[in-house]
Structure 1
Amino acid sequence: MSAPTGTATAPAAREEAPERDCPDALVARVLAGELGPDPRTLRITMAFTTRQAVRHDGRRGGYRNEVLGLRLGSAVGSCAVEPGELPDGTADDCVGADVAGLLRHPLRPVAVAALDAYLMHTTPHTPENGAVPHALPAGSSLERSRARAVAVTDLLALPPGRTVLVVGVVNSLLEQLRSRGLRYVACDLKGGTTEWGEPVVTDALAELDRCDAVLASGMTLGNGTFEPLRAHALRTGKRLVMFAQTGSAVLPRFLGAGVSAVCAEPYPFFWLDGGPGVIHRYGSAEAAQ
């Protein structure tokens, strides 16, 4: 399989970055002012939650999303949460707070959104930082979901017959995997079934050994399940591809240290309107050949 167009490897300087050791080490470097301005001097000017309920035409089921957004200058950092998970007043607590304090916040989603905002501010999604833009067409919510699914699954670069652990069930991604002759294990903390009636498992780590690659949502950053996935990919050499609304500026920092590729989608997300948009892809599929 040839490598997809519109992907790139992050610059060499970032490949050697020590923050790739783990997410906690990345936070420590930000707090030390090693990756940009002192986060104690930067304040969040706006905090908000975005709530969505959707049922695409032709699909038998629907779902809900809730995302915490923190604005720092022109950048917005995001972290998805389970609907209703955030306490009332979380957004109010974040407004006017300095980034350093929010990086130490006891609620993990707040800390992740603050880290994402800081890195979006200091290292935006540009070609100089290793990102390659990928256009999403205008269209219905389902059309745009399917277009994003193509861009994400291209990064797997797997031949038919392989098995992918999908952490964070998105039916358009499963549909795209099926069309490519790829098997999958669907995993989501909510459980349930897929659009095709397949059971959704809830323990991703229990399924890793029987899968050839992992396709995971950035939401794993917010719920604490990212690091075990990254550690498994490091240990086994399996391909780990992240599709990231949560932590879109965070996950590219782990390219070459467990993460193989990232499809980064900063706010505003594809499901917020029907106009054309752009996502950003990091990492070359050639490594899978």
Structure 2
Amino acid sequence: MPLSDHAQPTSVATLIHDVQRGLYGPDPETLSVVGAFWIRQSTQFPGTQQKYRNYYLLLRVGAAFGACCVERDQLDSAVAEELSGQPVSTLLKDERLAVRIAALDAYLNAVLPHRDDARATPMMLPSGTPPVRAVARDEAIVGLLKLQTAQRVGLIGVVNPLVKAIQQQGAICLPCDFNMAHTQDGLIVNQDMQPILEQADVLIVTGMTLSNGSFDQILAAARRRAIPLIVYAQTGSGIVPRFLGHGVTAISAEPFPFSQFSADPTPIYLYRSQGHESSI
């Protein structure tokens, strides 16, 4: 469902506040986390040198999951043992950002599922090997874009196939990532996103910007400079659509189970704000 006139969040904190006020559905005090999971995962595709390491906190509320990918030492894995049985309202006030993000994502995925959102276009990733499914996912993300030659694209959270896809459209990739020094084809990866926020003509970011606290700054920069912001979200797949048309231009939302955790067909949901259906 689209945002109401009374629910147009300007930040993650205001979104949490609006959820607590009941603007998105039932009182979060009435919903509890029935399962909490900690996942440590790595991926390295055949014939490549890049190893991706991911650490996830997953919370289940009813039939839905909330996900937050974190840095290696951001949370102790024992956190999963303490969170089940807690009301969502309690976890939305937790001092740990990652817990708040996972709880918010679980709540929104439970009360506003993508399948009921008229703005979302579902796409089933094919069954198959991890590379097959990853390529299909990345092609869907690229399908949200129609870049112009020599456009500068800030890529915050580097995925090598996206670097290649940006370059294939004639655009210039400005990569930024805390955990990578070079892209697969040798581009230097900046660890400071601030110059990229000021130089880029388009921003493409991962949902992990929610878990490291940089999403609000990125959102504010996109609004201030009036540039497109595209988010590919495993973390926060239920959160980011609340900002669609209010700073976020397009989204590839992938709720759990993620493509790397299944060989069977699984859905992703593609969103575009009005006025940006055909081009960026």
What range is the shorter-chain TM-score in? over 0.9
CA distance in 2, matches of 1:95, 1:55: 32
* AA aligned opposite 2:277: E
Report 1:23-42 matches (<5 A): 23-42=12-31
Match of 1:250 among 233, 239, 251: 239
Matched position secondary structure for 1:209: helix
Deviates more, 1:168-177 or 1:261-270: 168-177
Report 1:6-17 matches (<5 A): 13-14=2-3, 16-17=5-6
CA distance in 2, matches of 1:113, 1:137: 27
* AA aligned opposite 2:24: L
Match of 1:286 among 274, 277, 280: 277
Residue aligning to 1:22: 11
Report 1:119-138 matches (<5 A): 119-138=108-127
Structure with bigger RCO (C-alpha 8 Å, 6+ apart):
1
Report 1:98-109 matches (<5 A): 98-109=87-98
CA distance in 2, matches of 1:16, 1:132: 23
Residue aligning to 1:226: 215
CA-atom RMSD in angstroms: 1.6
* AA aligned opposite 2:260: W
Match of 1:73 among 39, 58, 62: 62
CA distance in 1, matches of 2:113, 2:77: 30
Could you tell me which runs of 5 or more consecutive residues in structure 2 were left unpaired when the two chains were aligned: none
Deviation at 1:197, TM superposition (A): 1.8
Deviation at 1:195, TM superposition (A): 0.7
CA distance in 1, matches of 2:59, 2:194: 31
Residue aligning to 1:148: 137
Deviates more, 1:121-130 or 1:63-72: 121-130
Residue aligning to 1:261: 250
Deviation at 1:15, TM superposition (A): 6.5
CA distance in 2, matches of 1:124, 1:212: 32
Higher percent of residues as helix? 1
Deviates more, 1:15-24 or 1:42-51: 15-24
Q: Scaled by the length of structure 2, what TM-score is found?
A: 0.94
Deviation at 1:179, TM superposition (A): 2.3
Identity %: 37
8 Å Cα contact 2:7-2:23 kept in structure 1: no
Residue aligning to 1:175: 164
Deviation at 1:129, TM superposition (A): 4.3
8 Å Cα contact 2:104-2:239 kept in structure 1: yes
CA distance in 2, matches of 1:61, 1:128: 36
Deviation at 1:150, TM superposition (A): 1.1
CA distance in 1, matches of 2:239, 2:250: 12
* AA aligned opposite 2:165: Q
* AA aligned opposite 2:166: L
Superposed CA offset, 1:155-183 (max 9, x none): 12222321110000111211222222221
